[in-house]
Amino acid sequence: MKAAIVSESGRLPVYGDFPESAAELDQVLISVTAASLSPTAKSRASGKHYDSADKFPFVAGVDGVGRLADGTRVYFALPEAPFGSMGQQTVVKATHCIRLPDEVDDVTAAAIAIPGVSSWAALQERARLIAGETVLINGATGTAGRLAVQIAKHLGARKVIATGRNTEALRLLTEFGADVTISIDQPAEEIEAAFQEQFGGDGVDVVLDYLWGPSAEQLIAAAAKAGKDGVAIRYVEVGSASGPNISLPSAALRACGLQLMGSGTGSIPVECLLRAISELLVALVPANLKIATETIPLTDVEAGWTKDSGKRRVVFMVR
């Protein structure tokens, strides 16, 4: 079969021939139609992800959409190594497949699942969001962050605060449901004052952090200084676009009811992540969730892999 093949660590996938395989007892064979080029897929292919494969060669891609032997259209995740989603066929555990609602097309399903579940699972499984609470999303101008704004509102957040560096992208977030926007591309003292205003006003119940790094330190400091006594702040680390590490003063933990946690594979069982994706796909049309996409033929995987699509989610079309 034709596939995007990773031959060794640090090498980009190349389009070529890869052996086919039959499904075992608890697995299904899927004819792939669309595969998402997500940051997770890129990170695992490069060998930098904590869950990267260590045997080569393998087919790139961690999720996608395809057809079962009986024609059933499914979203699937975590194919069985050495197979990935970026091939004409893949092998997946039957329990890792989700039947797609008729109104959700292949490209949108492939594009939205991973960035969408990053906030859906974080809010539902980790933060246990209660309708009427306030959510602050740190780093809301990217694909996952924009979805997080929409999803937080759909799940019942009374108020959504969004941060980011891009002023124009922040302004547009009000159209997606953000009630307050804060630029983190300004002097540190102004950022800290803006954060303290939010933690000290109506208060913040949940933080979803896609950035980590310096802005996370500023958020935690603001929570310590202005957070309400006895009110727990559930701080969920989802991504680390601004850096993998922070400095965490012990006093900040003593000064407020900060509950610091992460969200992702490992901190959430796979079956719970799949349930969250299923709920997300069912809600996609009723909640009017929006994601911009760009499709590229799998034959162009090498050029598409490094393409800067800005606000669009790249999906490889597999034939």
What is residue 47's predicted lDDT score, i.e. its pLDDT? 60
Please report which confidence band the pLDDT of residue 125 belongs to, taking 50, 70 and 90 as the band edges. Answer: very high
Half-sphere exposure of 83 (CA within 13 A, CB side): 28
Other Cβ atoms closer than 10 A to 22? 7
Determine the 3-state secondary structure of 304 from DSSP: helix
CATH architecture for segment(s) 114-262: 3-Layer(aba) Sandwich (3.40)
- Say whether 165 sits in a helix, a strand or coil: coil
Q: Give the model confidence (pLDDT) of 162-172 as tens digits.
A: 999 999 999 99
Judged against a pLDDT cut of 90, whether residue 10 lies above it is answered with no
Q: Taking the domain 2-103+291-317, which CATH number applies?
A: 3.90.180.10
Specify the pTM.
Answer: 0.92
Residue 163 pairs with which residues in a beta bridge? Answer: 138, 182
pLDDT digits (tens, 9 = 90+) for 226-283: 998 888 999 999 999 999 999 999 999 999 999 999 999 889 999 999 999 999 999 9
Question: Residue with structure tokens 């159209």?
Answer: 175
Of 218, 215, 274, whose CA–CA distance to 239 is shortest? 215
Q: What's the pLDDT score for residue 81?
A: 92
Confidence class of residue 96 from pLDDT cuts 50, 70 and 90? very high
Q: In this structure, what token pair is assigned to residue 216?
A: 């996370």
Pairwise pLDDT comparison (173 vs 9), residue with the higher score: 173
Q: Is 285 left (phi over 0), alpha (psi -120 to 50) or beta?
A: alpha
- Return the closest-CA partner of residue 222 out of 271, 176, 256: 256
Compute φ and ψ for 199, nearest 5 degrees.
-70, -25
Centroid of chain to Cα 140: 12
Rounded to 10 degrees, the C-alpha dihedral 264/133/276/280 comes to -120
Q: Facing residues of 162 across strands?
A: 137, 181
The pLDDT value given to residue 61: 94
Q: Is residue 67 a contact partner of residue 31, using CB atoms and an 8 Å limit?
A: yes
Integer angstrom CA distances of residue 181 from 137, 216, 235: 10, 16, 18
d(CA 312, CA 249): 38
- The per-residue pLDDT for range 144-157, each reduced to its tens digit, is 999 999 999 999 99
Is a pLDDT exceeding 80 seen at residue 87?
Answer: yes
| Token pair recorded at residue 83 | 């197979």
Q: Where in the chain is CATH 3.40.50.720?
A: 114-262
* CATH 3.90.180.10 intervals, the chain: 2-103+291-317
Tell me what pLDDT residue 164 has.
97
Give the whole-angstrom CA distance, residue 51 versus residue 303.
25
Residue 310: band (very low, low, confident or very high) from pLDDT cuts 50, 70, 90: low
